Structure 1
Amino acid sequence: MNVPLWVWLATCAFVVGMLVFDFVGHVRKPHEPTLRESAIWSAGYVAVALLFGVGVGVFSGWQYGGEYMAGWMTEKALSVDNLFVFLLIMTAFAVPKIHQQKVLLIGIAIAIVMRGAFIAVGAVIIEQWSAVFYLFAIVLFWLAYSQIKEAMSSEEADPGDAGDTKLIRAVRKVLPTSSHYDGDKMVTRVDGKRMLTPMALVIVAIGFTDLLFAFDSIPAIFGLTQEPFLVFTANAFALLGLRQLYFLIGGLLEKLIYLAHGLSVILAFIGVKLTLHALHENNLPFINGGQPVPVPEVPIWLSLLVITGTIAVAAIASLMVTRRRAEAAAAAGDTPPAEGDGTAATEDDGDLAQTPSSNRATEK
């Protein structure tokens, strides 16, 4: 896939423009987004991502278009799982709801920059050393195992841990930090001394978490396409709109109990796909004498089918089981929380769940 420099520059400018528009149009004035606002803008960002995929297919061929779509859907699913940890961080630091949008948008910008750097390094490594696909496959198998292990565990994460990482404790020791927020400022004055606010620490925590998430997403996306342009755009468009998605499905996060199971299946599938590709491109002397191994490769249509099917099954099964549990609790005489009560953003208060259980929080 030959991508001219001007297309790269135009795409990067478009992504930056979307972030600036998001900040100026929505985040600059602190407020709690309503369910309607979040739904409209989430749908808009999804539409932009899908239209971009259609454009790739029309101008570069549907093989590349399919690779982009598979990559975007995988990254979107991983980003939804990441929202669990973002919510825990917000809860641990008691971030005022009217300022959560700013934290998320800055976190998204940091994630795009860091993933861009990871993608650039990964593309160079792949070009120079194709055996890295074996390493990526091992990483994905380990991540799939970690996902399913956490999903099968009955232990729940302590939300307080999210704001008490070694990194945050180190920052507190080195830099003076106030104990109270000062609006959405990251620096304030206390008794005449300049100090960081908890808002700054939240952003550090989000940025560090984004760095950890890159170790999930980059090997996964390179397992679906080796085109740097498609890897970058799939990541960027999956992250854009994540802020709105956070407020839109906040109440659903704790109901997606099988999301980690589904992601485990997807990561393992991509690991198999990467292993087959690595064998097909093999140059390691201790495997088949350094010659390529004649194994079949997974076509992109099958990747799309497995990814979409797995996400759909995980989501439907999660909602069915959580509804049955709620009905069983009601029949037993317990009073379950009202649908969306205290967990989902509403037209009036945009409230979010404060104590969700995350399958990945302990890992991150």
Structure 2
Amino acid sequence: MPLEVTALGWTLTIGVIVALLALDLTLGVLRPHAVGFREAAGWSIFYIAVAIAFGVVFGSIAGWDFGAQYFAGYIVEKSLSVDNLFVFVIIMSTFAVPDKYQQEVLTFGIIIALILRVIFIALGATLLSLFSFMFLIFGLILIFTAVQLFRHRDEDPDVEDNALVKASKRFLPVTDDYIGGKMITKVDGRRVVTPMFIVLIAIGSSDLLFALDSIPAVFGVTDEAFIVFVANAFALLGLRALFFLVKGLLDRLVYLSTGLSLILAFIGAKLVLHWLHKDISDAVPEVSTSISLVVILVILAVTTVASLLKTRKDPDAKAHAGSIRARSAAPADEGQPR
């Protein structure tokens, strides 16, 4: 039986998310400051608690089958969002974003990510309702992404090679310094953009790529657009605080990209099986939400423990965000990959 969400339910849910987003925006933009571990831990716990509380209330109202789908979707999106954090760390380092402006960058990055996900969720839900073979397409996309991520698990994405970033630098006048955290300002009477604008371009375009993967992934555990939306929204809302909490620990998660590739491959296979069961034969087995939840949690647990054991034995081991494509080679005279 499909999930039925009333207009009041949608309104209250969106109201809560907008209120939390406004709170994030207030903390990140109106009070720019370097975030310490204690503050980051407190806000991380708060956002996770809000997400869990929502799941409990939602499950008690809609039924625990839908509640389990929400928690499975939330865990998938939360785990994929950690890979977002890797890329955010790379972007912050590449463009030397001052500590006091990192909150602002992250908050706007989260807003951009949320807008993109709303668009992709609406598009994905429409396609799935009209064409059942889209389950097969989404499944194959995830399996391809998983293979590519595993192949390039020891690489980092090349931020400055991003087409939008290169075009922005080429066609727009960019200042050398961050000027009060502004994106656009005037210098000698001429309107120019600051590095902050380029950073947001980099984050926005990387968010687009993540949305292309994460939306099919969460549709692999539920085909309810409402659950897909709330799972994404609550996972993203805690991203700002989580960034400051774990950015010093990210280097130790050396097997994270491997774990995420396994999760994407598993969900991709689940979508393919669902399509075969629905369109080809009822004899084809499907993977239940409860099994999906257990598999995802086990992969994440094993990945984390194995990563910590690896870095304890080899302190020089360093984690990488992973990449969907190999990084470009350096000019021939340099002789080494970039």
TM-score by length of 1: 0.85
- Residue matched to 2:183: 186
Quick one: which of 126, 141, 144 aligns to 2:143?
A: 141
Quick one: which of 211, 229, 234 aligns to 1:232?
A: 229
- Residue matched to 2:61: 59
- Residue matched to 1:274: 271
Structure 1, residues 201-229: CA drift from partner, whole Å, max 9, x if none?
Answer: 11111111101101110110001000000
Quick one: which of 276, 282, 298 aligns to 1:309?
A: 298
CA contact (8 A) 2:255 2:319 kept: no
Structure 2 residue identity aligned to 1:321: K
Matches within 5 A, 1:88-127: 88-127=90-129
| Matches of 2:23 and 2:98, distance apart in 1 | 23
Structure 1, residues 166-201: CA drift from partner, whole Å, max 9, x if none?
Answer: 211212233222222101111121111111111011
Structure 2 residue identity aligned to 1:136: F
Higher mean alpha-carbon deviation, 304-313 vs 20-29, is at 20-29
Matches within 5 A, 1:21-40: 21-40=23-42
Structure 2 residue identity aligned to 1:323: R
Q: Secondary structure at the match of 1:281?
A: helix
- Residue matched to 1:340: none
CA contact (8 A) 2:255 2:306 kept: yes
CA contact (8 A) 1:78 1:263 kept: yes
What is the RMSD of the two structures over their aligned residues, measured on CA atoms?
1.8
Higher mean alpha-carbon deviation, 8-17 vs 303-312, is at 8-17
| Matches of 2:325 and 2:20, distance apart in 1 | 33
| Matches of 1:101 and 1:307, distance apart in 2 | 30
- Residue matched to 1:350: none
Q: Secondary structure at the match of 2:191?
A: strand
5+ residue gaps, structure 1, are 283-290, 330-335, 337-354
Matched, 1:199 2:196: yes
- Report the CA distance shift for 1:184/1:51 in structure 2 as closer, same or farther (over 3 A): same
CA contact (8 A) 1:84 1:361 kept: no
Quick one: which of 319, 323, 333 aligns to 1:360?
A: 323
- Residue matched to 1:318: 307
- Residue matched to 1:243: 240
| Matches of 1:58 and 1:259, distance apart in 2 | 33
Matches within 5 A, 1:277-296: 277-282=274-279, 291-296=280-285
Structure 1 residue identity aligned to 2:255: Y
Matched, 1:10 2:12: yes
Deviation of residue 359 (structure 1)?
2.0
| Matches of 1:362 and 1:197, distance apart in 2 | 29
Structure 2 residue identity aligned to 1:276: L
CA contact (8 A) 1:85 1:361 kept: no
5+ residue gaps, structure 2, are 328-338
Deviation of residue 363 (structure 1)?
6.0
Structure 2 residue identity aligned to 1:187: I
- Residue matched to 2:206: 209
Q: Secondary structure at the match of 2:314?
A: helix
CA contact (8 A) 1:253 1:356 kept: yes
Structure 1 residue identity aligned to 2:200: I
Structure 1, residues 222-248: CA drift from partner, whole Å, max 9, x if none?
Answer: 010000000000000000110110110
- Residue matched to 2:330: none
| Matches of 1:136 and 1:162, distance apart in 2 | 26
Deviation of residue 362 (structure 1)?
5.8
State, as a whole percentage, how many aligned pairs show the same letter: 47
Q: Secondary structure at the match of 1:188?
A: strand
CA contact (8 A) 1:223 1:273 kept: yes
Structure 2 residue identity aligned to 1:324: K
| Matches of 2:160 and 2:233, distance apart in 1 | 26
Structure 2 residue identity aligned to 1:61: G
| Matches of 1:317 and 1:204, distance apart in 2 | 35
Deviation of residue 275 (structure 1)?
1.1
| Matches of 2:156 and 2:325, distance apart in 1 | 6
Matches within 5 A, 1:331-350: none
Structure 2 residue identity aligned to 1:359: G
